[in-house]
Structure 1
Amino acid sequence: MLSVPSLRRGRRAASTGRTMSKVDMTVLAKKEYPSVLRNKHFRRLCAAQFISLVATYAIYFASMALVEEITHSSAQMGLMIFSSTLPGLLFGLLAGVVVDRYERVKVMMGANIMRALVALAFTAAVYFFPHIYLLLTIYLTNFCLSALAQFVISAEGATIPYLVGEKRLMAANSVFNVSSLASQGAGLIVLAPLLLKLSGAEAVGLVGVILYLAAFIVVIRLPRENKVRKPGQGRRLAEIWVELKEGWRFISSDRLVTLATLQLTFTSMLTLMLSTLAPGFVDRVLGIEIADAVYMAVPVGVGFGLGIALVGRRGELLSKEKWISLGFIMLGLGLIALPFLTSVSGPFLFIMAMVVFAIGLGLALITIPAKTILQERPPAGMRGRVISTQLVLGNAASTLPMPLGGGLADLIGIRKTIFILACITLGAAAASIRQIRG
């Protein structure tokens, strides 16, 4: 029988073992970042994503500025954003099948060439079209860019595990989202406002053409996966339908994948609805010009970046499900405070910065773990379909609420609409916590 001192030593040893295990996991997490960054092919994928997203966000911001300038309507802004979400509903599942069947590098190459042509058409419309036709062209431009993005996003998400391996997925997703965040800052905060002030929206379109072509050149140098195609594959619609059902069946059979899909879908819907309300909020509630209002998003980016670093470097401290629950809490608390801020002068500027910082942090704590679940659990041949299915659900969930959100904001006010969204988000946080305890 163990004596009391030896029993205590045993407990200390067990405790030390657990502590060392966490330390080892932390050291491993820190080592994964340099390893991922040394991967030249992954760096190229990040560079291609960054360059193309800078163009996309710049054109998107120019489109919002034009719609707000022409219409001053949240409903019209919602219609513009709806035009960018509808393609996800129409083409998202098809994109997943295409990405799983064909070389993903070629898919990204073709999409970037086509996006360059769309940006060129946008430039011509700004130069020559009157307002009514320009609005229609803006909607069509965002529709086409979003349709092509379905294929690019699915291809990128399915390519990351191939380039870095499944053990480094969390670190790779963190770095990849940093690249995405940086592209938002470069496109929304730097490039688009600068070009709008200096030369107008047509300059944004021309620079977009150049950037999409640059992304095409970077993608060419990515390694190709060896895909084994069956004879006659890709020729029968029945085969495509079978593969689509396989993706749905896998999601519904895996509880963690199902929950991650629903959580990302809700976050996508919420983000798009907030994007619909944001221009009107800063213009009509805060009284800030649209071209300058984008700088209010800087704390969101800082919060999102901190969340990425926190999950990427300290992800072992909590399970993925707990990180997601914490993210919903931060997001809900930030949104619940936002409607009560009607000025950015004096001390209110600091309060506003902290509120939107919490929103960005919450989004990161939800997005990174949930995306990692969708990438690490499906087999390699099904990742594209699983990722695209989530994108389709996100766009489908936003199809009705987004235009309704813009109309509701015109009817009852933007502040009340944001408050309703905050209450729904806190409800999602409560449901996430209950799921963990259950």
Structure 2
Amino acid sequence: MVQSTDQAQNAQVSSKNKNSSGRVRRVLRNRNFLLLWLAQLISLTILNATNYGVIVLVNNVTQSVFMAGLAIISFTLPAIPFSAIAGAIVDRLNKRQVLWVSNILRMVTVLLMFVCIVFNRSNLWPLFLLTYCTSLIGQFFIPAEGSSIPLLVGERDLMPALSLFNISITISQALGFLILGRLVTSLFSPFTVYIGKLAFNVQSIDMLFLLVGVLYAVCAGLILLIPSRCFAESHLKQEREPRGDRTVKETLARLWADLGQGWRIVQVDNLLFFSVVQLSVVGILQLLIGELAGTFVQQVLHHPPEDMALILAPAGIGLVGASILMTPLTERIGRIRLTLIGFISLAVGFLLLPAMQWLSLRLDPVHGASSSWLLWSVILLVTLLGVAMACVNIPTNTIMQERAPENGRARVLAFQFMLYNAGSIPVLLFAGAIAQFLGFNLLIVVLAVCMFFFCFWASRFGKRQPERRLQADSTPNEQQRPS
């Protein structure tokens, strides 16, 4: 009897694994999703490459940490005031139109960057302004893209689709920051363009912006290859009110109501609120890892800051590898439980980083800091941290997508992105100063303790079953239903 029960359980697990792999293959055979996925991969890669190019140009011209900080703020600041507004607007527009138009507009701004750099390399303020505008346009692209995924694949295949999108996010960061920028500077040598009596010197890094502009046009073409009927939404069909009859005051009042409605949609659903907060915290942690990677490599591993790929690459490998296996993991463990396991693993992993350095110095006070044992232990641990990130990111993202109503999904995504960026800007500005003031190891311990407190909150809050889900165009008293 026991043997037959074990065989039945093994057969059930095997059937689930086959079903999960079948879902991934089915999603990849979905032509429309594949086009959106390619557009996302290319657009995120060139976005990261653009940010890389801006930082390199600022450092080459000014050699100023403060100016480099302004460059980073210029492409992160727009998300705070505008992402929620963009989400409210996108909810009432055709997603396909928003996607291809935003890519064309970003193509224009990046090509203007190229022109400004070639004309006057020393004046960085036009570059900052155009970077800000490019990021501002991206605030419309992000919620439109995120809310398009369920329209193209349906809720049945949402988990594998989001896993693939999460993989492309990680890959695009590596391609944009570590590969594309350096590849372009290696392929193109500096040259001079003569227009009449004027001579314009074009450096290798300048060609990156020209290439990015061309690739934004490619992304727009990929979106246009998706039939418009695939983006059809029932709530858009119901809105036939002539917009020309509205006054400016009425339009602003409607927009303000939409912003408040986005918060109410999140607030009224415990699981949705939980997923929005948790995704924002994990995103800030990922940003913090990227910010502190150079310092960690320099102070703990005693390598030059340029070797921070020793930290970022294993984390990316762990994140991508776990993303591929996330569907069967969530089916076996459960989404909420898996996210809590992932967060606890992150906190423990952060604590183990300074503990490994301490143990290495205890075993070998002379050469412990530069020992190969410490290096490989850190690489293995960071890989596991990447796995833990995936265990939090993908299930939480899936919960957010499923809980958000169709006609308010873009507002929810924009609200989450705004919350993430509102927390990430202080990290960008003060993480280095805090590490210097408290000491790097003490900062790691403080972060780990904060994560344990967050795990305690999440374990209690995540267990509350939501009593209702608020539709975007209703009030809490008008429409509620049990989950």
Larger radius of gyration: 2
CA distance in 2, matches of 1:395, 1:271: 12
| SS at structure 2 position matched to 1:231 | coil
Which residue is equivalent to 1:307?
322
1:362 CA drift (Å) = 1.9
Would you say the 8 A contact 1:68–1:279 is kept in 2?
no
Tell me the amino acid that sits aligned with residue 123 of structure 1.
F
Q: Is the 8 A contact 1:55 1:187 kept in 2?
A: yes
Residue equivalent to 2:181? 192
Q: Which of 134, 138, 150 lines up with 1:161 in the alignment? A: 150
Confirm whether residue 61 of structure 1 aligns to residue 58 of structure 2.
no
Matched, 1:176 2:165: yes
Inter-partner Cα distance in structure 1 for 2:353 and 2:127? 29
Partners of 2:462 and 2:224 in 1: CA distance = 44
1:45, distance to aligned residue in structure 2 (A)? 0.3
Aligned residues of 2:293 and 2:312 also touching (Cα < 8 A): no
2:220 maps to 1:232: no
Instruction: Identify the residue that residue 425 of structure 1 maps to in structure 2.
Output: 451
Query: 1:375-394 to 2 correspondence within 5 Å?
Result: 375-394=401-420
Where does 1:288-299 land on structure 2 (aligned, <5 Å)?
288=304, 290=306, 293-294=308-309, 296-299=311-314
Q: Spell out, residue by residue over 1:27-83, the C-alpha distance to the aligned partner (whole angstroms, 9 max, x if none).
A: 322221111111000000001011111111112223334455566666655443333
Going from structure 1 to structure 2, the CA distance change for 1:425 and 1:122 (only over 3 Å counts) comes to farther
Residue 45 of structure 1, aligned match among 18, 36, 55: 36
Q: Give the match for residue 217 of structure 1.
A: 221
Q: Residue 19 and residue 282 in structure 1: after superposition, are their counterparts in 2 closer, same or farther (change >3 A)?
A: closer
Return the match for 2:339 from 318, 324, 327: 324
Map residues 278-289 of structure 1 onto 2, 5 A cutoff.
278-279=293-294, 281-282=296-297, 286-288=302-304
Pairs within 5 Å for 1:12-23: 22-23=13-14
Distance in 2 separating the partners of 1:429 and 1:306 = 24
Aligned to 1:86, what secondary structure does the other structure show?
coil
- Partner SS for 1:144: helix
* Greater relative contact order (Cα < 8 A, sep 6+): 1
The residue number in structure 1 matching 2:201 is: none
Give runs of aligned pairs for residues 357-396 of structure 1, distance below 5 A.
357-396=383-422
Q: How many residues are paired up?
A: 426
TM-aligned CA deviation for residue 282 of structure 1: 4.7
Report the AA paired with residue 189 of structure 1. L
- Which residue number in structure 2 is paired with residue 143 of structure 1? 132
Structure 1 residues 58, 284: closer, same or farther in 2, change over 3 A? farther
| 162-171 or 317-326, larger mean C-alpha shift | 317-326
Looking at structure 1, the residues matched to 113 and 447 of structure 2 have their Cα atoms a distance apart, in angstroms, of 33
| Alignment equivalent of 1:400, drawn from 421, 426, 430 | 426
Aligned alpha-carbon RMSD (Å): 3.0
Q: For 1:182 and 1:396, locate their aligned partners in 2 and report how far apart those are by CA, in whole Å.
A: 24
Structure 2 vs 1, CA of residues 124 and 425 (structure 1 numbering), >3 Å: closer, same or farther? farther
What TM-score, normalized by structure 2, do the two folds share? 0.79
Matched letter for residue 178 of structure 2: I
Task: Name which of structure 1's ranges 376-385 and 279-288 shifts more when overlaid on structure 2.
Answer: 279-288
Structure 2 gaps of 5+ residues are: 189-203, 358-367, 465-483
Structure 2 distance, partners of 1:335, 1:76, is 30
Percent identity for Structure 1 against Structure 2: 30
- Whether 1:110 and 2:136 are equivalent positions in the alignment is no
User: Shift of the alpha carbon at 1:112?
Assistant: 0.8
Report which of the two has the higher share of helix: 1
Q: Does 1:94 align with 2:98?
A: no
Partner of 2:467: none
Instruction: Output the amino acid matched with 1:62.
Output: G
Distance 2:59 2:42 in 1: 26
AA in 2 matched with 1:64: I
